[in-house]
Chains A and B, each alone.
Chain A
């Protein structure tokens, strides 16, 4: 079939091409290829005002997206009628990085929002502002951040509920108030909450 010289050259080229591909390096990927920075663990720590031991809950998705979110312990136990000082911590356990620090550095681009469900179970108030972390003022205001907050549980709270933590990321449009939202949510977790124990006697 390949009788004329150009046709023969063509056949040789094709053969060479297929050989070169077979001989070249495998497409097998290197270990660790494609790792991306993710938040794989979010921890809430709530310390009751006026003494008592702190309670914590951690939400983990150790392989990044997909395998399912687990909580440890399985629920956050809060005492009714109590005021807690709260903090939130974000970690990338795959790459061993503390994402909380990055949120602090970019505090003007981030805002947490917390809600207790049912709403009658209590209130959450953010207690920090951008000036706690940075002296820059790029968005024209000293707005809330939400790495620190205060939870006040209602005296009549009982049973179970959730505490929802949402982290809004402001990139395309600036954070324009302490109640702003954006189209980019980085964290959105509903932590299970159980209200148990007697209400502390107020002092």
Chain B
């Protein structure tokens, strides 16, 4: 047991060193050619801190608690640099790595190289870092992620966007916020993720099946959203930002304050809050009636470090109220046909721009509390544990309480989903060349309907999973990656029985597994090839099992299948990367075969009700194949110029019925030109960027599909951004001016759920300013 005197000594030591927080920055280059070495690992092993060199070979490690430290810089194919460095120095650290002499046969793998390679993913991974995220602030998570190649957005009007990763979304894409798996009513295509991307320091999208590490649901991919690390050095800091969007009259702002106190050594905290308020969005021709929204989010993070132990706790609340376009709410198929024929809003409407949010609308709150601890013991073994409890409350208000006195006052349904989860991971230190993670996950869920309506049944579920995932640096060029996982979910649901008007009591247990086998091969210093065969699974969700009724906004009668089994996928993908001084390129190809893919298939006979005729869709399963290519190329002919091109192609087929699979994005091509004259002129952060995106028409139509045709025509959007840092009373004020949809193009997208009713928003001028505090 540690004595109080020892604690006091540690405290004084921390205060002493903390008073002079250090940072280390520099550049890693090839000693022979002087070229930068992007991706080189810079590590301070004693402090457990690390950074990777950027595309220009530059790196920064800030808030270092000591004055001197051993710095290790490594890069595949180069001799490792290791030296004790005085951190109080102000000059940048210039590290020149000498290429390893290519000798015959296997060169012994050095520990540092191996560790660096073991951390890489054999799947395609795209990252939005803090800088990228700052340029996108004020946008929703769905819009933010759609910047990435291979990621698109499933929209329900201007207020709801969901990420689609390689053609899959909702229950097939997991979202993790600070390691906590987000649990809401994510099965619904018009239920946006309840996450505020303002707070994120980094967003990473793993494309493809990742069932071993993340469990059930990781069929299409995983979105990881992480906050920046807490700052443990005493002091106060923060950041203020403000955004204004012309199209919808949106104003948004975010504030972060963080700090640590000398009085409480080892503790650090951060408080973040954000607000977004928007009025109706506008197409090039009309105001999109009732597309205003109001959103607020807050996040408190507390951290504690002592020796090898690191603990952090999070409290997070997200609340939104969002309007849904009035013209999307209608009666039956007769109405829908009239609306499609009309092609736009009701000409009898006399509607003007407003900030008012009327029914139909959604009111959603999401609360999360989590506690995370990490420690090392023995000879470098790691243990990581996390407990989280989250509650999702979703209320949806119909346009008309059918014959109620006050429409929009009472929700037409009101769902509460309470989830608790425990994740434990152990990483024994086996060898410098291998890494093994053993994990356990346990989760409970309870879903309740309120008084108002009955959308999906009440249920209670228990989940458990066990996994082992390892990687091994086999040779100097080859790293292997393998894993296995077993999961089970047992669920007791109370679906409505429409004959007895009571409730059934159905217990089901689903068992699934996942596996991964992959490799990463460095062909040369600048070329690498990664390949991976992965699998994932998911149990059917309650909506697929027990839906029964008309889905508003599509005039579909949906019928669940209570006997549906689990969905399993086998995803084969390969990624070829090139990274050199002037060129970055990546080509990723994949084939994701989904066994027993669950979808809603139109029945030949419509459902006839008192309210009229509704096309009827019954949930069923098929084998599906999603195959595609995501490619991107970036060329930097001069230090100040960056030209890029990207393409994302996808073919998805329903293998049982033959023909295309319904509801996948069409092909996308794009490019950008970015000029950073600051690099030449010595001005910090000045840039101008033009972006172009062309979206082809989805011409692969499921034969006979009622809602599939007609898909909207192809469209091309152009955007501009201009930004820089100006001195504002001594503070560096970051300003960015942008235009989205510069040419005010009228367009609709195949993945827009309102593509029958109204165009997408037109030109949008954006202003973003941010200033650091303290």
Contact (Cβ within 8 A) B503 A185: no
With A7-B373, A188-B613 in contact, do A29 and B503 touch (Cβ < 8 Å)?
yes
Name A95-133 residues within 8 Å CB distance of B. 99, 102, 106
Interface of B is mostly: strand
Q: Which residues of the partner chain B approach A64 to less than 8 Å between Cβ atoms?
A: 498
Contact for A67 among B338, B348, B400, B498, CB less than 8 A: B498
B309 touches A42 (CB 8 A): no
Asked if A50 lies at the interface with its beta carbon under 8 angstroms from chain B, I say: no
B446 touches A27 (CB 8 A): yes
Flag whether B172 is at the interface (Cβ < 8 A). no
Q: How far is the CA of A13 from the CA of B492 in the complex (A)?
A: 25
Is the CB–CB distance between B449 and A65 below 8 Å? no
> B609 touching A66 by the CB < 8 A rule?
yes
Main secondary structure of the interface of A (DSSP, over half): loop
A14 touching B402 in the complex, CB below 8 Å, given contacts A28-B503, A59-B610, A69-B610: no
Check B334 against A185 for contact (C-beta < 8 Å): yes
Q: Which of B385-436 contact A (CB under 8 A)?
A: 385, 387, 389, 399-404, 407, 412-413, 418, 420, 422, 424, 426
Can you list 8 contacts pairing A with B, beta carbon distance less than 8 Å? A1-B383, A10-B387, A59-B610, A63-B501, A66-B498, A171-B400, A173-B346, A184-B331
Tell me, yes or no, whether B181 is within 8 Å of chain A by CB: no
Q: Given the known inter-chain contacts A1-B383, A184-B329, A185-B335, please indicate yes or no for A172 contacting B399, CB distance below 8 A.
A: yes
Partner of A34, one of B371, B385, B496: B496
**In the complex, are the beta carbons of A66 and B549 less than 8 A apart?**
yes
A contact set with B: CB distance below 8 Å: 1, 3-4, 6-7, 10-11, 13-14, 17-18, 21-22, 26-29, 31, 33-34, 36-42, 59, 61, 63-69, 94, 99, 102, 106, 166, 169, 171-174, 176, 181-189
Q: How far is the CB of B159 from chain A (nearest CB, A)?
A: 18
Contacts known (A4-B309, A183-B338); A21 close to B418, Cβ less than 8 A: yes
What residues of chain A lie closer than 8 Å to B404, measured between beta carbons?
37
* Interface 9-mer from B454-462, B474-482, B652-660: B454-462
A61 touches B609 (CB 8 A): yes
B389 touches A17 (CB 8 A): yes
Does B662 have its Cβ within 8 Å of any Cβ on chain A? no
CB contacts (< 8 Å) of B387 on chain A: these are: 10, 13-14, 17
Interface check B257, CB cutoff 8 A: no
Residue of chain B at shortest CB distance from A20: B420
**Is B607 touching A66 in the complex (CB atoms < 8 A)?**
yes
Contacts of A187 in B (CB 8 A): 610-612
B436-455 to A contact mask, C-beta < 8 Å, 1/0: 00000010101111011110
Q: Which of B330, B453, B550, B609 contacts A183 (CB 8 A)?
A: B330
Chain B hits for A67, CB < 8 A: 498-499
**Chain B residue contacts of A171, Cβ below 8 A:** 399-400, 407
With A34-B453, A64-B498, A173-B348: A185-B612 Cβ-Cβ less than 8 Å: yes
The residues of A that contact B332 with a CB separation of less than 8 Å are 185, 188
**How far, in angstroms, from A172 to B399 measured CA to CA in the complex?**
9
- Most chain B C-beta atoms within 10 Å of own C-beta, residue among A4, A106, A183, A188: A183
Q: Are A172 and B326 in contact (CB under 8 A)?
A: yes
